[in-house]
């Protein structure tokens, strides 16, 4: 068993050699707090507050309604183009608008319309609850049947009845990452479309939507992308499906000529057809500012550090947490969170937070520690594990 002093030295050496260490200085973080909840709400980049204040003072306050024609109206597609490289998407396939739940609804209904002869929706059995809720309502409205299947079993369960399969890229409880390329290929062989939920992977794992042939995807921007509480989500529609993407929320913002004010909706020819109503400009432009921190980030380095942070967490836990059960896979098939099983998780996490280690818990018994490579340090990982040891003693 390693001495804590050895782990302190190891953490210091890892932090000193970290090629992403400088990125932490771009975030507004309390030095007394070790923050491990970026997989629920990312930390704010320092410049965002000033940028949003400028939007309020100079655009809304100075230019007033003229700002709609000076960049506001086009912002959902423009900001989408900034996220596109982070998910391996070529231009013209990603728009930022509405919430993840709303975008899931749009995408699922559109998928059922692409091949109306298929009457089944497969849903990842371990999905984040809202995905299942939305799928159930889509099925009720469209006459489809929802079948919940463990993601890895979908290649054996898909059939000629399956219109679309909805899968979470990273499981929100365990942190396990599913094989996007393999599952997409297998489902395509049966003629089904695939819709991926990227909420727990975008800004953490390298995602290659175009290269893996993904049909549709959604994701939030307030977790690892640090867009702020309630920041708008994004919707990806592969180019091959754009002209057949008939979403159910035919709002004016998705019309081909919104200001013509015609009596009949005609969908925009491009990805803007994924929009529905008027955008939340303050949140959208806060996200736009937050995305600046990604301009010089190498996604390979990001993934390498995320895995290394997890490996160090495992090492510290093995040395310091006697008999702890960790639900997260130890291989590369994981996202950037570590999930520790704890019989009294709610009470334990409250005690951790009281001591300045902020993670979260998921009922009934999982402590989650999000590892955000842009600002999480190895020293903080050691602090989390030593504090958890002390709390559980």
Give the C-alpha distances (Å, rounded to integers) separating 19 from 16, 111, 172, 300, 340.
8, 42, 28, 11, 28
Residue 245 is among the residues annotated as catalytic for this protein: no
Out of 24, 147, 305, 368, the active site residue is: 368
> Quick check: 290 and 38 in contact, CB under 8 A?
no
Question: What is the chain's length?
Answer: 393
Taking the CA atoms of the chain, what radius of gyration do you get in angstroms? 22
Residue 197 is among the residues annotated as catalytic for this protein: yes
Which residues are paired to 234 by β-bridges?
A: 96, 219
Out of 23, 106, 147, 223, the active site residue is: 223
φ, ψ for residue 217, nearest 5 deg: -155, 155
Out of 18, 37, 197, 255, the active site residue is: 197
> What is the bridge-based pairing of β-strands 325-326 and 366-370?
unpaired
**Cα dihedral 138, 144, 149, 154 sign:** negative
CA atoms of 132 and 138, how far apart (whole Å): 10
Farthest-apart Cα atoms in the chain, separation: 73
Residue 355, C-beta contacts closer than 8 angstroms, at least 6 positions apart: 387, 390, 391
Q: How many CB atoms lie within 10 A of CB 69?
A: 11
Residue 23 is among the residues annotated as catalytic for this protein: no
SS3 196: strand
Residue 368 is among the residues annotated as catalytic for this protein: yes
> Quick check: 310 and 326 in contact, CB under 8 A?
no
SS3 35: strand
Which residues are paired to 124 by β-bridges?
A: 149
> What is the bridge-based pairing of β-strands 162-168 and 120-124?
parallel
Out of 105, 128, 369, 375, the active site residue is: 128
86-119 CB burial, b ≥16 within 10 A, e <16: bbbbeebbbbbbbbbbbbbbbbbbbbbebeeebe
> Quick check: 118 and 163 in contact, CB under 8 A?
yes
The H-or-E segment that residue 349 falls in is helix 345-354
Out of 105, 222, 234, 245, the active site residue is: 222
Active site residues: 128, 197, 222-223, 368
């Amino acid at each position: 068993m390693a001495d804590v002093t050895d782990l302190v030295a190891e953490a210091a050496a890892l932090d000193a050699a970290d090629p992403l260490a400088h990125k932490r200085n771009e975030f507004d973080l309390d030095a007394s707090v070790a923050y491990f909840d970026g997989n629920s709400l990312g930390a704010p980049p320092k410049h965002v507050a000033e940028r949003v204040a400028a939007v309020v003072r100079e655009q809304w306050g100075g230019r007033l309604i003229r700002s709609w024609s000076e960049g506001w109206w086009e912002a959902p597609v423009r900001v989408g183009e900034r996220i596109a490289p982070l998910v391996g998407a070529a231009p013209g396939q990603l728009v930022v608008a509405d919430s993840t739940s709303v975008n899931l609804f749009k995408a699922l209904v559109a998928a059922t319309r692409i091949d109306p002869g298929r009457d089944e929706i497969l849903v990842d059995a371990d999905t984040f609850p809202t995905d299942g809720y939305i799928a159930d309502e889509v099925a009720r409205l469209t006459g489809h049947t929802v079948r919940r299947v463990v993601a890895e079993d979908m290649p054996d369960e898909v059939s000629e009845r399956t219109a679309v399969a909805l899968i979470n890229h990273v499981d929100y409880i365990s942190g396990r990452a599913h094989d996007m390329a393999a599952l997409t290929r297998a489902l395509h062989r049966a003629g089904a479309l695939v819709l991926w939920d990227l909420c727990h992977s975008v800004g953490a794992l390298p995602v290659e939507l175009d290269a893996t042939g993904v049909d549709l995807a959604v994701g939030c921007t307030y977790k690892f992308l640090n867009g702020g509480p309630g920041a708008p989500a994004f919707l990806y529609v592969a180019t091959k499906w754009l002209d057949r993407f008939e979403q159910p929320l035919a709002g004016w913002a998705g019309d081909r000529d919104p200001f013509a004010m015609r009596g009949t909706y005609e969908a925009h020819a491009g990805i803007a057809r994924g929009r529905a109503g008027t955008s939340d400009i303050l949140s959208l432009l806060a996200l736009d500012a937050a995305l600046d921190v990604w301009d010089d980030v190498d996604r390979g380095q990001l993934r390498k550090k995320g895995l290394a942070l997890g490996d160090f967490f495992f090492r510290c836990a093995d040395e310091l947490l006697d008999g702890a059960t960790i639900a997260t896979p130890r291989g590369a098939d994981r996202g950037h969170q570590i999930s520790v099983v704890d019989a009294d998780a709610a009470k334990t996490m409250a005690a951790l937070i009281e001591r300045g280690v902020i993670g979260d818990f998921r009922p009934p018994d999982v402590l989650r520690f999000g590892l955000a490579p842009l600002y999480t340090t190895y020293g903080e990982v050691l602090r989390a594990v030593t504090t958890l040891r002390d709390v559980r003693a």
